[in-house]
Chain A
Amino acid sequence: ETGVTQTPRHLVMGMTNKKSLKCEQHLGHNAMYWYKQSAKKPLELMFVYSLEERVENNSVPSRFSPECPNSSHLFLHLHTLQPEDSALYLCASSQEGFPNSPLHFGNGTRLTVT
């Protein structure tokens, strides 16, 4: 299997639930990202992990908690979300040390918070 794989593809959760999104990359990259894509808004960078250390946290609410156990896996733990958190969550990877290395994206998880 190649590329960036995200699971699940679709997720419906209540405001009191706890769930996790998973991302796995098979490209040998060492930087991983979470982006949020809401309707009629540009992609928003949420978190960046470079060499397994979090290097960016763009004022994301604490109800979103990322985890990067190794350079191939990235998780986004979700708890007590709000309906406005409904969006497409995209994971991406790239090669750290090469600023012009393009981001490779997964197909995303469509999250609906009820």
Chain B
Amino acid sequence: SQELEQSPQSLIVQEGKNLTINCTSSKTLYGLYWYKQKYGEGLIFLMMLQKGGEEKSHEKITAKLDEKKQQSSLHITASQPSHAGIYLCGADMGAGGTSYGKLTFGQGTILTVHP
């Protein structure tokens, strides 16, 4: 089993609809990062969450980290074709023992937005 599980694996929505992607771990997360990737390209940093209960927003994307710091959700409001891509969560699975970013990633969620 994977350390970080993302659900759903793929999602197809009509433009204008809201959607949620989840990222779940069996361990406490010491820093949770959301990235977006266009197929065959690099990852673009979206947001980082660190504290239990924390919530951050950027434009129409909101990310939350639950109180136990074992699950995060990414919510997109009024989706647009520009939101299409692969969304990945990455997390520091250790106890903060390194000073560099050693991240474990989920398998990604493929989002398709139909106009």
A interface residues with partner B (beta carbon < 8 Å): 4, 6, 31, 33, 40-43, 45, 48, 50, 55-56, 88, 90, 92, 94, 96-108, 110
Chain B residue numbers with a CB within 8 Å of A56 are: 102
Whether B102 and A48, one on each chain, are in contact in the complex, defined by CB atoms closer than 8 angstroms, is: yes
Q: Is the CB of A105 within 8 A of B96?
A: no
- Check B107 against A31 for contact (C-beta < 8 Å): no
Q: How many Å lie between the Cα of A110 and that of B35 in the bound state? A: 19
CA distance A98 to B48 in the complex (A): 13
Residues of A within 8 A of B35 (CB): 105
Q: Pick 30 A–B contacts, CB within 8 A, sort by A.
A: A4-B42, A6-B42, A41-B107, A42-B2, A42-B104, A42-B105, A42-B107, A42-B108, A43-B90, A43-B105, A45-B103, A50-B99, A55-B98, A88-B40, A90-B43, A92-B43, A96-B99, A96-B100, A98-B99, A100-B31, A101-B101, A102-B48, A102-B101, A103-B33, A103-B43, A103-B45, A103-B103, A105-B35, A105-B42, A107-B41
With the chains together, A43 CA to B90 CA distance in Å? 9
Binding site for A on B (CB under 8 A): 2, 4, 30-31, 33, 35, 40-45, 48, 50, 88, 90, 92, 96, 98-108
**A31–B41 CB distance below 8 A:** no
Closest-CB distance, B110 to chain A (whole angstroms): 11
Please state if A55 and B42 are interface contacts (CB–CB under 8 Å). Answer: no
Q: Which residues of A contact B41 (CB under 8 A)?
A: 107-108
B33 to chain A, nearest CB (A): 6
Assembled-state Cα–Cα distance A102/B108 (Å): 18
CB contacts (< 8 Å) of A101 on chain B: these are 101
A31-B100, A48-B100 given; A42·B42 CB < 8 A: no
Residues of A within 8 A of B88 (CB): 43
